[in-house]
Amino acid sequence: MLRKATGRLRRLFQRFKNPNERVKINFGGKLYIGFTLFIGFAAVNTGNNMLYILLSFLLSLMGISGFLSRYNLKGFKVKFFPPEEIWCCKPEKVKVKIINTKRFPSFLIELQQKEIGLNLLLKLVERDVEVSTPLVFSKRGIYHVREIELKSTFPFGLFERSIRFPIGEKLLVYPQPKEINFKSLPQRVNLKGELQEAVKTSIKGTSAISVKEYQGEGFSAISWKHFAKYGELYVKQFEEEEKVPQVFIDMEALPGSKEDKISYATYLVRLFRNRGYAVGIKCLDKREIPPSAGKEHYKNILECLAFL
């Protein structure tokens, strides 16, 4: 009989238990529990009615605290909006949207994400709240944003209740660009001392003669016939093409340590891309990315630098 009752209570507890929810007893809560136990033992040993009344009040207050703290974190949805580009050692704004789906507002909500150092305190959350805060990423590479945690000590500060929301985002942090003096560059940084001419696709009033792999040139240049045949994106090359300057960066030729070379290379890639060059690079691990243009090509170079 006792075993059946225990099993029912366990199933009932598992039904209402949230695996992403945690409860931590604060220092004040430990004192409160200790005082409540002391009053309980005193009431049992002495049979004093006033002590029983005080014990009932303390237990009721603890129950109210648990109910309000649970309701305070109930009915939340969290959305995470990372910036499009993240650069090492540069403040980047990260946005988080909190949606409160319950009827009443929540109070003293602390938003925390340990991997990226996000920590915000929201005094009042009525309905939808969108917060934006600058964050500085001290290292290049991948940052995993697995979950965002909401915490609260409401209402009395005796307990800290928290709930975790899965996010599953990966943030790629590009290296810190560091300006370099061009006079200090050896000749082989820019393709053995020369800026050569390359071709750039032009689609106005010309006929296509071949195709090449898609590198972010735009949807108007895509060969949909080849996409239907091979299942991959290709762009058309035309007879008339205007020439654009091309630059190839050899990282081994850059001065300084490994991190200096990566920072200088990042600066040069950004600089020449903004000036309309087709950029290529030879990385420190001997990988070579031939000069080309387009947003995807630009991202491929930055990813190569971020993972060195």
Parse the chain into domains and list their residue ranges. 14-174, 182-201+241-306
CB of 180 closer than 8 Å to CB of 264: yes
The pLDDT assigned to 250 comes to 84
Among 273, 253, 280, CA closest to 264? 253
The pLDDT assigned to 236 comes to 65
- Sequence-distant (≥ 6) Cβ neighbours of residue 205 within 8 angstroms: 240
Is there a cis peptide before residue 255, judged by omega within 30 degrees of 0? no
The pLDDT assigned to 275 comes to 82
Q: 14-174, which class in CATH?
A: mainly beta
The alpha carbon torsion through 209, 210, 216, 217 (nearest 10 deg) reads -10
Among 153, 69, 149, CA closest to 111? 149
HEC states along the chain? Answer: CHHHHHHHHHHHHHHHCCCCEEEEECHHHHHHHHHHHHHHHHHHHHCCHHHHHHHHHHHHHHHHHHHHHHHHCCCEEEEEECCCCEECCCCEEEEEEEEECCCCCEEEEEEEECCCCEEEEEEEECCEEEEEEEECCCCCEEEEEEEEEEEECCCCCCEEEEEEEEEEEEEEEECCCCCCCHHHCCHHHECCCCCEEEEECCCCCCCEEEEEECCCCCHHHECHHHHHHHCCCEEEEECCCEEEEEEEEEHHHCCCCHHHHHHHHHHHHHHHHHCCCEEEEECCCCCEEEEECCHHHHHHHHHHHHCC
The residue to which tokens 């590009």 are assigned: 174
Measure the CA angle with vertex 183, ends 182 and 188; round to 5°: 75
Question: Which neighbouring-strand residues pair with 132?
Answer: 95
Predicted TM-score (pTM) of this structure: 0.70
Among 116, 272, 136, 89, CA closest to 191? 272
The residue to which tokens 């040069």 are assigned: 268
Both tokens of 306, joined, read: 């971020």
The pLDDT assigned to 200 comes to 30
Ordered mean pLDDT values, 10 residues apiece, the chain (308 residues): 57 61 90 92 89 92 90 92 90 92 92 89 90 90 92 91 91 90 54 34 42 63 66 62 72 86 90 85 85 86 90
Pairing state between β 141-152 and 159-174: antiparallel
Measure the CA angle with vertex 119, ends 263 and 23; round to 5°: 135
**Residue 74 backbone phi and psi in degrees, to 5:** -85, 150
CB atoms < 10 A from the CB of 22, how many? 13
